[in-house]
Chain A
Amino acid sequence: MLDQRFYWGTIRKAIVAFGSMFNGITIERKDSAGNSIQIQKVPLSYSPKQKFLAKIRQQPSVDETNFSVILPRMGFEMTSLDYDPNRKISPLQQNRTLNSATTSSSQYAPTPYNINVLLYIYVKNQDDGLQII
């Protein structure tokens, strides 16, 4: 029993799934005549990260510093993990799947949890932010 591990990376997968939902956002800037002048993709990153990795990744040279930050951009992080009793169903209920003509697998009903994630938007122009929202 002690040798058995029960880690399936489920929450990590949920983080990737959340990130993939917001990684294709683009914003468009138009001139006063309504002509499209710029289309740009909005960078997204998972906020919690090891500081030294972020530092050496974003600023490999300490001799020069071009900008304070490049905008617009978004970041997100998981803020809480809450048990949700409203979605709970009988623990005796099973899901079954047929592997072959003679074997099958079964799984007891999972326990529902809500993963709360906060997405942050950082823009220089209000119009950029409004487009993202």
Chain B
Amino acid sequence: MATVNRYFQSGRTIGRPSEQNLYEDLIIESMKIYGMEVYYLPRKVNSLDVILTEDPLNTFEYAYPIEMYLENTMGFAGDGELMSKFGLEIRDTGNFIVSRKRWKEVAGSTGNTILERPAEGDLIYFPMTRSFFEIRKVEGQEPFFQVGKLFVYKMMCELYQFSNERFTTGVDEIDSLTNDASLVIGDHELLQENGESLLLEMNALTPIVMEDYALSDDGHVQIGADNEKFIENIDNILDFSERNPFGEVYQ
């Protein structure tokens, strides 16, 4: 026995399919007007450690351009910049809203996503600030059943903690940014035409690594590491040579 008014409601709650479709189209149109184009990067799990429940060898092989609406109007939220024991850390957050229908058309129907919805752990690349955001939580019921249907996903995102995951999306900007930040030695080796490493003549096991890999101000600046400085300075302090195995450098 229906207890709601059948003249206004088609069944479960307010709204008829024609109204819902119109409403959905208006949402998509407004996002195309007021939103901005970002890239949606689904995560691929390659080698899951079932004990530790983690996969250090995640890859991102696809980047789908799609319009999203950034909910934060006055810039990103979060703690901002933080000076920790590990140098500068930036904790920006942002809420991205995407149409369910558009997401399914662009990414969900490709078969390359983990779930049939935006998944926690997937990335959003925001070209305006060249930032990578990781989805921390997907909210599916906000706004709650307007005209009887859910139209958007709201994704709570945090700036991505990069840990040398492999990006081969085919989008030059994304791939080059992540390649430059990578600390994997193989990404900075000189290669021969056949793709094999170019090795040192003196030590045939040591590959030739380009200077941009150096963990110093001259090389990998983003990381703010001092490894090279310690190497340079220690020669003036300790002398472990045969002549003076335990003492300071003999002047």
Interface residues of chain A, those whose CB is within 8 Å of chain B, are 13, 16-17, 19-20, 23-24, 26, 29-32, 37-41, 43-47, 51, 54-55, 57-60, 63-75, 77, 120, 122-128
Contact = CB atoms under 8 A, between A and B. Distances in A.
B92 A128 contact: no
A55 to B, nearest CB: 6
Interface in B119-138: 129-132
A26 B206 CA distance: 14
20 contacts: A17-B234, A40-B183, A43-B223, A43-B227, A44-B230, A54-B83, A55-B83, A59-B90, A63-B129, A66-B132, A67-B90, A67-B181, A69-B161, A70-B181, A73-B87, A77-B85, A120-B85, A125-B56, A127-B52, A128-B56
B184 interface: yes
Contacts of A41: 183, 185, 215, 227
Nearest to B88: A58
A63 B130 CA distance: 9
Nearest to A44: B227
Contacts of A31: 46-47, 57
B172 interface: no
A17 B235 CA distance: 10
B224 A45 contact: yes
A31 to B, nearest CB: 5
Given A57-B217, A67-B162, A75-B87, 16 more contacts: A13-B248, A38-B186, A39-B186, A40-B183, A41-B227, A45-B225, A45-B226, A55-B81, A66-B130, A66-B177, A67-B132, A67-B161, A68-B92, A70-B222, A126-B54, A127-B52
A35 B240 CA distance: 36
A124 B154 CA distance: 25
Interface of B: 46-49, 52, 54, 56-57, 81, 83-92, 129-132, 158-164, 177, 181-186, 215, 217, 220-227, 229-231, 233-234, 237-238, 248
Nearest to B180: A66
Contacts of B90: 59, 65, 67-69
Contacts of A54: 83, 87-88, 224
A65 B226 contact: no
B88 A64 contact: no
Nearest to A31: B47
Contacts of B186: 38-39
A54 B222 CA distance: 10
Contacts of A70: 161-163, 181, 183, 222-223
Contacts of A66: 130-132, 162, 177, 181, 222
A16 B234 contact: yes
Contacts of A69: 86-90, 161-162
Contacts of A51: 83
Which of A17, A66, A77 counts the most B-chain CB atoms under 10 A from its CB? A66
Nearest to B230: A19
B222 A58 contact: yes
A44 B229 CA distance: 10
B135 to A, nearest CB: 14
A38 B182 CA distance: 11
Contacts of A124: 56, 161, 163
Nearest to B92: A65
Given A39-B184, A41-B215, A68-B92, A58 B131 contact: no
